[in-house]
Amino acid sequence: MTTSNEGSIPRGNTECEVCGYILNQTELMLQRVNETPVCKAQECRVVLDQKTTMSSVVFQSHLNFQRKLILEKREKKRKRERYVEEIKASEEKENNDLLRSALTNPKVPIDRSTQVLAIPSGLVEISLLKSSRVKRYREHLRRVITEAVQLNNASEVVQDQYFNAYQKSLDVDKRLSANPKLRVLSDKLCTLCQGGCCSEGGDHAYIRTVTIRRYMDSNPELTTEEIFDGYVSKLSDKTVDSSCINQTDKGCALPRVLRSDVCNGFYCDSLKSYQKDYVTSDATPVLVIQRANTNWNRFDPDVENHIVNVEVIERG
């Protein structure tokens, strides 16, 4: 039985000294007697840790300022979350209304088991490829090729946030190879979308050291110059504005074998969940609802997410 006060619940002080959050039972249990109450948020703990490094007057003014910042940041985050939920709910309602209305139209070849698949849109404005973009792309390629050539093989590349991309791309390929109809349908959807997920490819196209090193491992006869030229030669004279340098009006200019693992393994959430739940025996067409936003700016308040296209796509 505990006889000391250590570990017992402090009375009175139940709010975080920094943000004012009311501590829950678990947090109170972890609080020691005479310890200034603080919630589990790292930002609050960091502020409180500074108490011993300042005079009480200076700390009080620091605390007030940091409290204001923390509360403002949290409010902003809450607003953003509410906004995202509102967008999701209103789009879902609009999609369901559209499905219901399509079901009552005898000319639309769908039935009650038809699934709605919402996809974004790629950017479509085409213009002449700027020399400044080519310069940046060439520099990027030079850098990753130089890094790749210093390694013996792809397994030596330092792991980063895209480390799982290769395995993901293999898994995706395996799943699609086992379901050729699903591959055809996925390709149809991506063609319709025109690269809604490519808009962040910029002048790097997600080509990384590991992309190049893996390509070198599979093609040991190629020199670094040949690899560099192989990439640069695929650039089109005209590209999609503000999108990946390899995105053209006919899709990606890079053959799959030159693309990054990120590109080869990526499907947007909507397509990914459709692929995951795909049942081979089900032949019901899909009702595709395409919106104006790209895959990345759906929740950008400046972007209009209106419906730009509705199509019934046959499976396979």
- Tell which residue, 106, 117, 121, 94, has the closest CA to residue 312: 117
d(CA 124, CA 292): 11
Place of tokens 């910042």: 69
The 10 Å Cβ neighbour count of residue 136 is 15
- Tell which residue, 67, 273, 83, has the closest CA to residue 175: 273
The 10 Å Cβ neighbour count of residue 256 is 10
Nearer CB in complex with Zn ion: 43/173: 43
CA distances to 114, 126, 185, 280, 316 from 287, rounded to whole Å, are: 7, 28, 12, 17, 14
Among 189, 212, 216, 235, binds ligand SF4 (CB under 6 A): 189
> Taking contact as CB under 5 A, which single stretch among the options 37-45, 102-110, 148-156, 186-194 is the one that binds Zn ion?
37-45
CB of 134 to ligand SF4, least distance (A): 15
- Tell which residue, 198, 205, 316, 203, has the closest CA to residue 268: 198
231 touching ligand SF4, by CB under 6 A: no
* Residue 63 interface partner, choices ligand SF4, Zn ion, none, CB cut-off 5-8 Å depending on type: none
Residues 129-188 within binding reach of ligand SF4 (CB under 6 A): none
Residue span 3-22 as binding mask against Zn ion, x where in contact by CB under 5 A, dash where not: -------------x-xx-x-
39 touching Zn ion, by CB under 5 A: yes
Two tokens, residue 35: 């310890």
Residue span 99-128 as binding mask against ligand SF4, x where in contact by CB under 6 A, dash where not: --------------------xx--------
* Residue 16 interface partner, choices ligand SF4, Zn ion, none, CB cut-off 5-8 Å depending on type: Zn ion
List residues binding ligand SF4 (CB under 6 A).
119-120, 189-190, 193, 195-198, 201, 205-206, 244, 246-247, 252, 254, 259, 263, 267-268, 271, 295
